[in-house]
Structure 1
Amino acid sequence: MLWRHRFLFDRWGWELPGGLVEVGEDPKDTAVREVEEETGYRPKEIEHLITFQPMVGMVDSEHVVFLGRGAELVGEPVGEVEADLIEWIPLSQIPDMIARGDLWNSGVLVGLLYARERLNGARG
């Protein structure tokens, strides 16, 4: 995850890598590209997790979230520095991070909570 400052809100929070799908690009390829550009890691496996609209009735802004498993360090983040910290954070810590206010981005919340539920459900 990335510890980022959002200037519009003057607020810090943990976020997932992400970005806009380029014309003609498959969203799965976008996810891999964004993770690599923003963290320096390339996911070993990636699967579609959930697609949702964060503000139904206000804007059309489909969000597509992928779940990556494993990663290979392939270099440094590229482009402008987008995060002060990059860390692996266990899904078990998500509820406490929400309670502290460290996770507040709707896309991050939907993706992480769904991933946590799906993976915990897979364990029985």
Structure 2
Amino acid sequence: MTRPQDQDARWISHGERPVYENEWITVGLADVEVPSGERFEHHTVTMKPAAMTVVLDDAGEHVLMSWRHRFVPDVWNWELPGGLLDPDETPAETAAREVEEETGYRPRRLEHLVTFEPMIGMVRNAHHVFLTRGVERVGEATELNEGTFEWVALSDVPELIAKGRITNSGSLVGLLHVLALSGPDARASRAE
């Protein structure tokens, strides 16, 4: 379904100023006007874009994930390899670099799945999600604080999500995308 942009429903920004910034995050205040004509200051948060990869084994039956603790929400969960884009990198270059640094594996080929904004109401933080089918072992992981990576059965992922063992937005989006592509309806449509 395609919808034309409706200029009458557009929020208008009359400017934005930073109130706090460092190399990781910028918190700002934007002077916005909403469609009703009301005008007010709205908080904004800008963070570096990120890239993550769904790494499948050659058979497509297991996904490489890290069991790790995230101190801000104080949760343990399974996550895909990924990280923030360096200024001189494309999202695909970041995805490949992060897989190799965090796991010691090199992706054979990356396929872009989706780019999304995890908190679109106030935060600018594009997440680029990739898929690789098969990897080559090239050494040991060089990033040692990224948790413990294991091959997790793809068939276990829905239960892990249901039990709150996968809570990271990038991991959820990537894994749900792959599961949708591999479901019975997707297999039937590819066979036609």
Band the TM-score falls in, shorter-chain normalisation: over 0.9
The DSSP-based 3-state class of the residue aligned with 1:45 is coil
The answer for the alignment partner of 1:7 in structure 2 is 71
The DSSP-based 3-state class of the residue aligned with 2:165 is coil
The answer for the alignment partner of 2:138 in structure 1 is 74
The DSSP-based 3-state class of the residue aligned with 1:88 is strand
Q: 2: CA distance between counterparts of 1:86 and 1:32? A: 16
RMSD: 1.2
**Unaligned residue ranges in structure 2 (runs of 5+):** 1-64
Residue 115 of structure 1 and its aligned partner are, at CA, apart by 1.3
The answer for the alignment partner of 2:119 in structure 1 is 55
Q: 2: CA distance between counterparts of 1:68 and 1:10? A: 30
Q: 2: CA distance between counterparts of 1:79 and 1:35? A: 10
**Structure with the bigger percentage of strand:** 2
| Per-residue CA distance 1:64-86 (angstroms, 9 max, x = gap) | 00001101111111033211x21
Residue 24 of structure 1 and its aligned partner are, at CA, apart by 2.3
- Deviating 4+ runs (over 6 angstroms): none
| Per-residue CA distance 1:95-123 (angstroms, 9 max, x = gap) | 10012211011111111101110233542
TM-score (norm 2): 0.61
Q: 1: CA distance between counterparts of 2:67 and 2:143? A: 17
Q: 1:34 aligns with which of 78, 98, 106?
A: 98
TM-score (norm 1): 0.92
**Unaligned residue ranges in structure 1 (runs of 5+):** none
The answer for the alignment partner of 1:93 in structure 2 is 156
Q: 2:169 aligns with which of 84, 92, 106?
A: 106
Q: Identity, % of aligned pairs? A: 56
**Structure with the bigger percentage of helix:** 1
Higher RCO structure (Cα 8 Å, ≥6 apart): 1
The answer for the alignment partner of 1:119 in structure 2 is 182
Query: Is the contact between residue 92 and residue 130 of structure 2 (CA under 8 Å) also seen in structure 1?
Result: yes
| Per-residue CA distance 1:30-80 (angstroms, 9 max, x = gap) | 100000000111111210011101101110110000001101111111033
Paired residues in the alignment total: 123
